[in-house]
């Protein structure tokens, strides 16, 4: 597969539609094996080739929760280059638009840090990738605010932020030279739709 895009989905909407999708994923043995999006497209009769969009990826984890007033289906996908959102739009068409689809899409190699949130599922402003001393290993770990991520960097490096703004600190951190070439700390701001 090409560069890998990790996307977290949160699906709500009409309870019957959300439950139908969950039941289909269970029939396909989700959480026991990865579910190829092409197989899911075939199940729902979506001709992705004719529509000209990619289903090159898989669902590798899913969870269903019922609340008194709604149901929530959460799942994570790993796809090539970018999220397969055209496929999920086509899937929603199969449910007559009964699904509300929110997602957070991350593909570091392509610089994709994108959020489409139809609820309040992904409020975090940024994510951090870090490795090496003095940092703990973090792989696109979300942070509520950019200031929170900056504070972690300052604490770990013992460097005082001083009067620098968040934007000044982001530039400072991006240009900071560590003693070990294998050390990194990237703060990636999400773009919100």
Per-domain residue ranges of the chain: 4-116, 126-192
6 DSSP assignment: E
The torsion of the CA quartet 70, 73, 149, 129, rounded to 10 degrees, works out to: 180
How many CA atoms within 13 Å lie on the side-chain side of 186? Answer: 11
Domain 4-116 is in which class? alpha beta
In sequence order, which residues have a C-beta less than 8 Å from that of residue 174 and are 6 or more positions away?
A: 186
Regions of the chain where pLDDT drops below 70 = 1-2
Structure tokens at 2: 């090409």
For CA atoms 142, 112, 193, 99, the dihedral sign is: negative
* Whether 86 contacts 54, CB under 8 Å: yes
115-126 in b/e form (b: 16+ CB < 10 A) is: bbbeeebbebbb
Tens-place pLDDT, residues 91-129: 999 999 999 999 999 998 889 999 999 999 999 999 999
Whole-number pLDDT of residue 123: 97
């Amino acid at each position: 597969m090409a560069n890998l895009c990790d996307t977290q989905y949160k699906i709500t909407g009409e309870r019957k539609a959300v439950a139908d999708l969950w039941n289909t994923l269970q029939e396909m043995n989700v959480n026991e094996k990865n579910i190829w999006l092409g197989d899911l497209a075939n199940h729902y009769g979506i001709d992705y080739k004719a529509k000209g969009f990619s289903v090159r990826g898989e669902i590798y984890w899913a969870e269903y929760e019922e609340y008194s007033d709604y149901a929530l289906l959460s799942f994570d996908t790993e796809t090539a280059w970018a999220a397969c959102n055209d496929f999920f739009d086509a899937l929603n068409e199969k449910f007559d638009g009964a699904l509300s689809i929110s997602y957070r899409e991350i593909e570091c190699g392509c610089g994709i840090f994108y959020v489409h949130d139809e609820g309040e599922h992904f409020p975090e402003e940024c994510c951090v990738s870090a490795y090496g001393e003095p940092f703990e290993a973090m792989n696109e770990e979300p942070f509520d605010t950019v200031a929170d991520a900056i504070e972690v960097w300052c604490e770990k490096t013992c460097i005082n932020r001083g009067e620098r703004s968040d934007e000044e600190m982001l530039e400072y951190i991006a240009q900071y030279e560590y003693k070990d070439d294998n050390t990194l700390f990237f703060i990636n701001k999400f773009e919100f739709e």
